[in-house]
Structure 1
Amino acid sequence: MEKWTTSHDRVLAQRHAEGWMFLIEAARDLRTTGAIAPSGTALARALTDPVAAQSPHPLTVLEAGAGTGAVTRALLPRLSRGSRLDIVEANPRFAARLRDLVAGHPSLVGRSGQVTVHQTYAEELDTAQRYDVIVSGLPLTNFAPAQVERIMARYLELLHPGGTLTYFAYVGTRRARALTASRTESRRHAAVDEVMASYQRTYATGRWTVWANLPPAHVWHLQRPLVRGDLPEQQCDRARR
């Protein structure tokens, strides 16, 4: 009982520290942090389900916008041997924390070369690698519509044909912004929603609602078609702008 309590207390202390770190980074730049709390356990598991579903096959996985590592910790134990994980995080303080997490994680004992942390923006990741699964934690609704187009186009480019992109969006954000945001901000948010809706109409394979998260969130799965040259022409045009 004492051992369980110590472990439980350690987890609570870690989550408390991450919560404060998120608050500090959100105060610095809410646009890139995108939340005031890390993803909860239920949301993290829902986001990483496509990885678990393909186990035990070796996979190439990209996690974008990893933050303090709430989803990363759910992802690492689900990686089968022979898999590769690239973690992308633009915030230098978060990136440093992620490197510490990877260096000390028990699931990676003897497999340290399996995971790499890249301090960069997802759309600027310089790699020839293609991925079976991309897990995105980026706050897309905080970005300009043109930037969202670039990110989504890059995600599809980075996926293997048949690969899965999984991401989340908080429930009720559009209604909340309509009540509290300026007219300009409301128009920007609506434009981003339309960009995402166009990708959902073309590529979505499922949507789930995770109520056991604060705030609740929708988890989307999008799949790149098996045929190459799959981006609709109008989306390619918009992504080049």
Structure 2
Amino acid sequence: MDDTITPRDRFLTQRNAESWMFLIEAARDLRTTGAVAPSGKALARVLTEPVRTQAPHPLAVLEAGAGTGPVTRALIPQLSRGSRLDIVEANPRFAARLRGLVTAHPHLAATSAQVNVHQTYVEHLDTDQRYDVIVSGLPLTNFTPVQVERIMARYLELLHPGGTLTYFAYLGTRKARALAASRAEARRHAAVDEIMAAYQRTHATGRWTVWANLPPAYVWHLQRPLASADTDRLVPQPDRASR
């Protein structure tokens, strides 16, 4: 009997364990976990595109709401020598898993990239660092309008002028929520949608549709203006489909 464990076997075992952990945490608190499955490879690739396009320059990158780390695993191999990645995750069990992922990742042994995991909320992140790219996995539609405003304001504060924020939202959830939510929940969702639409009108540089994810998702790229006095509005590019 051959007991050899192939890389594919390790990958499948890790993915299954990750999915079960995500389900358990979603059952504990769906509002802050935000989904019932980790982000897929196609979604992670589109979310991390701004990092990939700026290589091989050293970058400062922030990932917020990293969960079990599917996007983190896509980010780390793209970090150029001298880059920095700060990972923010409030869930203590997810944060512990992310620290293990970072410690064991082979790419970091061959580069001087600095990676740190912070168990906190992004609004409470104590840093003077400014970032070239912020990748957000936070379930913004699950938060109150006040929380969303605070998170988005913090994101823009943490970005360098000209820096990029990437985040995603699932397709079809607005109609599903309208059918199932209470009147108060429907009002909250509508208010959050209005806030995000205003940020999209002002800062969006692109939107992609990722069909090869469960569930399918939109990915938005927003950019902080190059100067605070810049009042020009950036118009979203036509929607692109990613497979």
Decide: shared fold, TM above 0.5: yes
Match of residue 207 from structure 1:
207
Q: Which runs of 5+ in 1 are unaligned?
A: 233-241
Question: What CA RMSD, in Å, does the superposition of the two structures yield over aligned residues?
Answer: 1.8
Match of residue 52 from structure 2:
52
Greater shift in the superposed pair: 171-180 or 2-11: 2-11
Local SS of the residue matching 1:109: helix
Q: Which amino acid aligns with 2:87?
A: I
Match of residue 27 from structure 1:
27
1:11 aligns with 2:35: no
Partner Cα distance (1:231, 1:221) in 2? 18
* CA displacement at 1:104 relative to structure 2: 0.3
Match of residue 134 from structure 1:
134
Would the aligned equivalents of 1:52 and 1:78 in 2 still touch at CA under 8 Å?
yes
Match of residue 220 from structure 1:
220
Local SS of the residue matching 1:85: strand
Q: Which amino acid aligns with 2:80?
A: S
Local SS of the residue matching 1:202: helix
Would the aligned equivalents of 1:103 and 1:112 in 2 still touch at CA under 8 Å?
no
* CA displacement at 1:40 relative to structure 2: 0.2
Paired positions, count: 231
Partner Cα distance (1:4, 1:135) in 2? 37
Match of residue 115 from structure 1:
115
Q: Which amino acid aligns with 2:29?
A: D
Matches for 1:1-241 after TM superposition, within 5 Å: 6-111=6-111, 114-228=114-228
The structure where helix makes up a greater share of residues is: 1
* CA displacement at 1:228 relative to structure 2: 2.5
Report sequence identity in percent.
Answer: 79
Using structure 1 for the length normalisation, give the TM-score: 0.92
Runs of 4+ in 1 over 4 A off after TM superposition: 2-5, 110-113, 229-232
Using structure 2 for the length normalisation, give the TM-score: 0.91
Q: Which runs of 5+ in 2 are unaligned?
A: 233-243
Q: Which amino acid aligns with 2:191?
A: A
Structure 1 residues 229 and 119, CA, compared in 2 at 3 Å: closer, same or farther? farther
Deviations 1:125-148 (A, max 9, x none): 110000000000000000001100
Local SS of the residue matching 2:37: coil
Match of residue 238 from structure 1:
none
